[in-house]
Structure 1
Amino acid sequence: MGLELGKINIKRFADGEIYVQLQESVRGCDVFLVQPTCPPANENLMELLIMIDACRRASAKNITAVIPYFGYARADRKTQGRESIAAKLVANIITEAGANRVLACDLHSGQSMGYFDISVDHVNCHPVILDYLASKRICSGDLVVVSPDVGGVARARAFAKKLSDAPLAIVDKRRHGHNVAEVMNLIGDVKGKVAVMVDDMIDTAGTITKGAELLHQEGAREVYACCSHAVFSPPAIERLSSGIFQEVIVTNTIPAPKTHFPQLTVLSIANLMGETIWRVHDDCSVSSIFL
């Protein structure tokens, strides 16, 4: 964007409390606070809230919370009795802190945008991944896009449409608990194909690795894993580096893991986010970026 980062002092007190002080005037400015609420999620979320509050009290004209990875997004509904809908709660507290707008990347579900009582611009990271896949010059006739679960079919279908209308396959699974998944069967044909698995995030990698195992059993020639958010909770690294994937392609919505492995490719969304921020600032269309 050709701009310098705003100066801000963030530190921790001895008791763990967070201190934030802006080091320059933001009075009358459009402020864009970039803060993914990735692990440690609670620390990063609280830091974001205090930064928003500091900007509001310093008379910023507009405050946009730029959240490349929106933590708690998976808690978007009640799946059992007496549960919280934490995604809605987090949306409420970001709004109450003083944000005027949220700019988020690849939310886990579309309904999360409706949890905010302020404007939300949804950034799709797929163009970055699609450009990279195009550079690999894989024959379109060899491609099949795979959704690792039924819930991700719409995402995978949109991805396949951009890849010369590649065919679609679906891994049908049944979940037996949090962070535990069991693959059941495959809907679609992957025999002799280059399978591109698409998901919004990889957490423990249980879903996507079991899906990849099934794809190999069904005759897939190569399997690629693509996602926007590399959460990589243990034992994700061990699973992903086992050799089952030709390549694991992620973006840097979450800072890249310290432990890299040969198959890992991390793509930058800096240009995409920069263009989106400029358009928000200039009151231009954001959705046209992703057409």
Structure 2
Amino acid sequence: MTTMAMTEPPLKRLFDRLDFAPQPKRMELQVVQERWEAARGGAVAPRRNAISFSPQDRGAAETIFVHRFEGPDDDAVLTEGASAAAILLGSCQIGEKLSEAAQRRGAVRLRRLLKEVRGTGQPVLAQYTSVEHGRDRAIIEILAAPLSEDGRTIDSALIAVWAHVLDGAPARAPREADSSFALFALGASVSFGEDVAQLLGAELTPLEDREFEDGEYKIRPLENVRGRDCYAVFTLHGDDVASSADKLCKLLFFIGALKDAGAGRVTAITPYLCFSRKDRRTKPRDPVTTRYVAQLFEALGTDRLVCIDVHNIAAFQNAFRCETVHLDAQALFARHVVAEIGDSPLAVVSPDLGGEKRAELFRLRLERMLKRPVAKAFMDKYRSEGRVVGDIFAGDVKDRTAIIIDDLIAGGGTVARTAAACRANGAKRVWAAATHGVFSEKAASALTNAPLDKLIITDSAPLQSTIATALGDRLTMISVAGLVAEAIRRLHANGSITQLLDEGP
């Protein structure tokens, strides 16, 4: 429940959003809230030592700090998390009071939030835009929740803070750079790359991306990369600025430049890999573009390719001779579904037989997490020369929430016809979850009238405004930046990717 309309004017001036039924946008703050709720039980508020984070929740743990209330005047003392608190309060030390903070405006905001937490005994979420020298610098999201050591009296508060930088200023306190590591982001993936960098406690390595008058371009790193472990982030979907082929060509040129500059290892991070849908011959003399794309990456000396939910994982892994790392968003989708579904009976639906394995793995994951049976269903689909046909629907969705799971949505026709079939077979609600929202021009019209109650996608490709307008509050976006960041962290340290896929970031 967003409560700005009922909020006192002083609070309205401090925050763009104030929410007493918090639903954080950032995954890290969502994790903090989940850990707080799990530790609370039936007490007024949980103890601080009852809230713990696994190694996979490192990003969430790094966002928190704790203030202990002192006296009736709402002043508070920092007892934990000075580096996280610095985002709001400037340079600070354990034991320092809010009234002594270097950043007075941030201290005022936090003090007002702590007053609300202390008065209501409930968590509160706030958001505001940080302005410096007349320019918007960052969007700040703050979650504050009460703590109690004796289980009866609120004596302190757990605060989690996230800053989404708008102009490249560092959102976290500077850390010692890892000279063996370099992270680059190209083109439209810069914003996503910044999110990944922040989760890694790093900054994007600078590069030059220069376009000439005739449309040709050059791209090169602006720092020494000799011997370094380099990661280049670029999602390869087509948009109004550049086609998938243009982006693929640019990424290949950049990989070549890194190898020529002596990079020790080059990993291409392509959350969405273009041309992967044509993975076999269905007609005489058909191209097998998955294999051709693999040969291009290998020709430039790519050491490793990381993708999320490719169209056909077997074709992807067989096409490449260099190392491939296949990530999936199933853990993220499942976590969201479990938090939202309540006691409603479920069915997982594959929109075609080719995606049945993906849907079955998702169904089994939900069964493990929910500890109850989840039904399954599938839709028949045959595509030829741009036409999609097939009317067979099999499975039990009657009086259930049907969740259609797929790797991508382009034109929207597949998910729309599957949603209609679920409704026709008695589904109470219809949700759809797809990793890649690479929406075509006709997707908005197809999805506007589709009988969907919710569409869940990730930020593997930037969201188009037409889709956001068409779906309104039916659309939910989940970030995969944490997944990519944790994969990079583990690859750089020779850690386990299997564990990451099992548990999620």
> Corresponding residue for 2:347?
144
Cα distance in 1 for residues equivalent to 2:297 and 2:236: 12
Higher percent of residues as helix:
2
Cα distance in 1 for residues equivalent to 2:308 and 2:459: 11
Cα distance in 1 for residues equivalent to 2:441 and 2:275: 18
Cα distance in 2 for residues equivalent to 1:13 and 1:208: 41
Instruction: Report the alpha carbon displacement of residue 41 of structure 1 after superposing the two structures with TM.
Output: 0.1
> Corresponding residue for 1:265?
476
**Which of residues 273, 285, 301 is equivalent to 1:82?**
285
Instruction: Report the alpha carbon displacement of residue 137 of structure 1 after superposing the two structures with TM.
Output: 3.2
> Corresponding residue for 1:275?
486
Instruction: Report the alpha carbon displacement of residue 176 of structure 1 after superposing the two structures with TM.
Output: 3.6
Q: Does 1:62 align with 2:265?
A: yes
TM-score by length of 1: 0.96
Instruction: Report the alpha carbon displacement of residue 241 of structure 1 after superposing the two structures with TM.
Output: 2.2
Residue 419 of structure 2 contacts residue 450 of structure 2 at CA under 8 Å; is this kept in 1?
Answer: no
Q: Note the residue ranges of structure 1 that are not aligned, 5 or more in a row.
A: none
Instruction: Report the alpha carbon displacement of residue 171 of structure 1 after superposing the two structures with TM.
Output: 0.8
Cα distance in 2 for residues equivalent to 1:137 and 1:219: 18
> Corresponding residue for 2:178?
none
Instruction: Report the alpha carbon displacement of residue 22 of structure 1 after superposing the two structures with TM.
Output: 1.3
Residue 249 of structure 1 aligns to a residue in which SS? strand
TM-score by length of 2: 0.56
What do the CA deviations read for 1:152-206 (whole angstroms, capped 9, x no partner)? 100000000011151110111232432x312412111111110000001111011
* Within-5 A mapping of 1:1-291: 1-39=200-238, 40-110=243-313, 111-139=315-343, 142-164=345-367, 165-178=373-386, 180-242=387-449, 244-259=451-466, 260=468, 261-262=471-472, 263-291=474-502
Cα distance in 2 for residues equivalent to 1:230 and 1:183: 23
Cα distance in 1 for residues equivalent to 2:312 and 2:322: 17
Instruction: Report the alpha carbon displacement of residue 127 of structure 1 after superposing the two structures with TM.
Output: 1.1
Instruction: Report the alpha carbon displacement of residue 280 of structure 1 after superposing the two structures with TM.
Output: 0.6
Structure exhibiting the larger radius of gyration computed from Cα positions: 2
Instruction: Report the alpha carbon displacement of residue 128 of structure 1 after superposing the two structures with TM.
Output: 1.2
Residue 66 of structure 1 contacts residue 103 of structure 1 at CA under 8 Å; is this kept in 2?
Answer: yes
Calculate percent identity across the aligned residue pairs.
Answer: 31
Cα distance in 2 for residues equivalent to 1:239 and 1:65: 33
Cα distance in 1 for residues equivalent to 2:450 and 2:252: 41
Residue 380 of structure 2 aligns to a residue in which SS? strand
Residue identity in the other structure for 1:155: R
Cα distance in 1 for residues equivalent to 2:295 and 2:267: 15
Q: RMSD of the alignment, in Å?
A: 1.2
Residue 41 of structure 1 contacts residue 71 of structure 1 at CA under 8 Å; is this kept in 2?
Answer: yes
Residue 420 of structure 2 contacts residue 450 of structure 2 at CA under 8 Å; is this kept in 1?
Answer: no
Runs of 4+ in 1 over 6 A off after TM superposition: none
Q: Note the residue ranges of structure 2 that are not aligned, 5 or more in a row.
A: 1-199, 368-372
- Which structure ranks higher in relative contact order (CA pairs < 8 Å, sequence separation ≥ 6)? 1
What do the CA deviations read for 1:230-265 (whole angstroms, capped 9, x no partner)? 111121112212251101100111112222131111
Residue 218 of structure 2 aligns to a residue in which SS? strand
Residue 375 of structure 2 contacts residue 397 of structure 2 at CA under 8 Å; is this kept in 1?
Answer: no
Cα distance in 1 for residues equivalent to 2:441 and 2:356: 26
Residue identity in the other structure for 1:16: G
How many pairs align?
289
Residue 208 of structure 1 contacts residue 225 of structure 1 at CA under 8 Å; is this kept in 2?
Answer: yes
Instruction: Report the alpha carbon displacement of residue 24 of structure 1 after superposing the two structures with TM.
Output: 0.9
Residue 182 of structure 1 contacts residue 207 of structure 1 at CA under 8 Å; is this kept in 2?
Answer: no
Residue 27 of structure 1 contacts residue 60 of structure 1 at CA under 8 Å; is this kept in 2?
Answer: yes
Instruction: Report the alpha carbon displacement of residue 124 of structure 1 after superposing the two structures with TM.
Output: 1.0
Residue 171 of structure 1 contacts residue 211 of structure 1 at CA under 8 Å; is this kept in 2?
Answer: yes
Cα distance in 2 for residues equivalent to 1:135 and 1:205: 26
Instruction: Report the alpha carbon displacement of residue 21 of structure 1 after superposing the two structures with TM.
Output: 2.2
Cα distance in 1 for residues equivalent to 2:211 and 2:331: 38
Residue identity in the other structure for 1:54: A
Residue 35 of structure 1 contacts residue 68 of structure 1 at CA under 8 Å; is this kept in 2?
Answer: yes
Cα distance in 1 for residues equivalent to 2:292 and 2:381: 29
Residue identity in the other structure for 1:25: N
Residue 381 of structure 2 aligns to a residue in which SS? strand
Residue 28 of structure 1 aligns to a residue in which SS? coil
Instruction: Report the alpha carbon displacement of residue 130 of structure 1 after superposing the two structures with TM.
Output: 1.2
